[in-house]
Structure 1
Amino acid sequence: MGTWSGVADAYRESFATLCAGAIERLLADTSGERHLDVGSGTGALAARADALGRKVIAIDADPEMVAVSTAVAGGRVVEGSLPDLPFDDNAFDAVTANFVINHVPDPRAGMRELARVVRPGGRVAATIWPSQPAEWAVLVAGAFSAAGVIPIPGQRLSADLDFERSVAGLRGLAEAAGLEAITATELKWDWDISVDALWGGIAGGVATVGQTFLAQMPEVQASAEREFREAATALAPEGILRLSTTAVYVVAT
């Protein structure tokens, strides 16, 4: 699980643009007037849902992310987190959770809470990152290894709380929560991001990769940046990386 407090600006300019690749699919597969976006982050999904005419409530655990979401989302934005959402049972026609379940301390309880707040016949649409490393992560891992970066203590959940980070795993999580899966698949897209913006997210402390970087001695940090920029520039001489991305996706009712 990643640490998000104090990194809202760095996240908005970097990894938020990665997560945004799933937004249109999440909206296309949900409908109805009352929409809850859980883990709203920068508010991009909530703003799009509002533009579609939905009455949106966005919720995020981090107060900085709430402030960022409030600035762009048209609806109400509140502070809160899974598995304790401050809403009544069956309150929403659609519930979206874009790369949230993979960050909560109890994914099963989190999915049950999403199921609790959606009305009968409504839809829950959720994404997670799969277990295989993304292209951007392979790039960064190579740079970190070359620089002698020391990993921080494991961020994985305990075996009794964790679940398989795959299509079957996320589908099973939804079905265990009492939902019926309509779609269970992988989504694929290319993430276009500048070398500077990606490094800004890492140096800004976003998620485990950023926290790992910040935990290093200054000389190791400097070496990691040099290694990253050399490798990234070799891939993208003009400064814009195009990185293949895969997400796990489930829509359930």
Structure 2
Amino acid sequence: MSYAEWAGIAAPYSRSFGALCASTIPEVLTEARVGGHAPGRVLDAGTGTGEVAIAAAAAGWQVDAFDAEPSMIAFATESAGARADASSIRFTTATLPGIPYPDQAFDAVTANFAINHVDHPRECLAELWQKLVPGGRLVATVWPWESTPTGRLWREIQDETGAYPPPADRLPAGSDFDRSEDGLAGLLAECGFEDVRARRVRFTWRVAADDLWSGVEAGIAVIGYAYAAAAPETRERMRAAYDARTPALTGADGLLHFELSAVLASGVRPAVAG
């Protein structure tokens, strides 16, 4: 998804797929403290609507955060400003590579579902490595390449309606990596990180059906790309197919329930830089 495609969709993103991405935040912040480090300075890369940054500030970290999309930064700034425990976060519009932070300035870097949105993940991770103090830890998450309940839901809708997204641009040759524990851990090791750890984070995501669909209507994710490219009558059929399937996914609380997992990996900048 290009930067332009993120413009103006912060609110529906926060309600839908942003809320999904926020499910890993407790594990991300726990991993950032591996080794007994007390909260210090953290840089949140690709902050989006600011959920990781806000949670880190509430946990006592001194937070800088950046995103390439100005409207996301505006949304995050407003959300943080409404909270006494997060109003000191410094949000910046910036794009990897080339972010405007000094080297060796942060005790931790978080990249929650950010590395999967850059064209050159190794170059971007190498730059984030530079921003860490020696001994500082980077924590990154990605969605695994495997069948998931949400993925099956979207594929069923696409197969029923014939609504498929236009062909997507692939990452430049040699830039991609396997979206698995070994793949993400190997990527961090390639970029100079040590004490690399990788694991699967499992959780139940609960979301209102209308909130999730708001993300589709905003053109977010593969199903959103398909919706954006579809004719009006096909969009109506997509919504009808969605509504027909959501009752089977709805719990007693009236929310959709999805059993999901993400890949989390972390690594340390060596105490003595090589």
Q: Establish whether TM, by shorter chain, passes 0.5.
A: yes
Matches within 5 A, 1:90-239: 90-236=104-250, 239=254
What is the CA distance between 1:155 and its match in structure 2? 4.0
Offset from partner CA, 1:213-252 (integer Å, 9 cap, x none): 1111111111111001101123227641110111111011
The alignment partner of 1:29 has SS state of helix
CA distance in 2, matches of 1:233, 1:110: 42
- 2:64 aligns with 57
Q: Is the 8 A contact 1:97 1:125 kept in 2?
A: yes
Offset from partner CA, 1:40-77 (integer Å, 9 cap, x none): 11111111111122110010111111011111333110
RMSD: 1.5
Q: Does 1:22 align with 2:29?
A: no
Offset from partner CA, 1:117-150 (integer Å, 9 cap, x none): 1111011000001111321121111112101113
Q: Is the 8 A contact 2:122 2:175 kept in 1?
A: yes
CA distance in 2, matches of 1:189, 1:113: 31
Q: Is the 8 A contact 1:144 1:227 kept in 2?
A: no
Give runs of ≥4 in structure 1 deviating > 6 Å: none
CA distance in 2, matches of 1:39, 1:163: 19
Q: TM-score, normalised by structure 1?
A: 0.95
CA distance in 2, matches of 1:131, 1:89: 33
CA distance in 2, matches of 1:159, 1:42: 30
CA distance in 2, matches of 1:130, 1:120: 29
Offset from partner CA, 1:137-170 (integer Å, 9 cap, x none): 2111111210111331124324421111111111
Structure 2 regions of 5+ residues with no counterpart? 34-38, 81-85, 269-274
- 1:47 aligns with 54
Q: Is the 8 A contact 2:43 2:109 kept in 1?
A: yes
The alignment partner of 2:32 has SS state of coil
Aligned residues: 253
CA distance in 1, matches of 2:119, 2:105: 24
Instruction: Report the CA distance shift for 1:220/1:182 in structure 2 as closer, same or farther (over 3 A).
Output: same
Q: TM-score, normalised by structure 2?
A: 0.88
**2:45 aligned partner, one-letter code:** V
- 1:37 aligns with 44
Q: Does 1:246 align with 2:261?
A: yes
What is the CA distance between 1:111 and its match in structure 2? 1.2
Matches within 5 A, 1:73-84: 73=80, 74=86, 75-84=89-98
- 1:10 aligns with 12
The alignment partner of 1:212 has SS state of helix
Instruction: Report the CA distance shift for 1:155/1:136 in structure 2 as closer, same or farther (over 3 A).
Output: farther
CA distance in 1, matches of 2:167, 2:8: 20
Q: Is the 8 A contact 1:14 1:193 kept in 2?
A: yes
Q: Does 1:69 align with 2:76?
A: yes
CA distance in 1, matches of 2:23, 2:251: 24
**2:146 aligned partner, one-letter code:** Q
Percent pairwise identity:
38
The alignment partner of 2:6 has SS state of coil
Instruction: Report the CA distance shift for 1:172/1:13 in structure 2 as closer, same or farther (over 3 A).
Output: same
What is the CA distance between 1:78 and its match in structure 2? 0.2
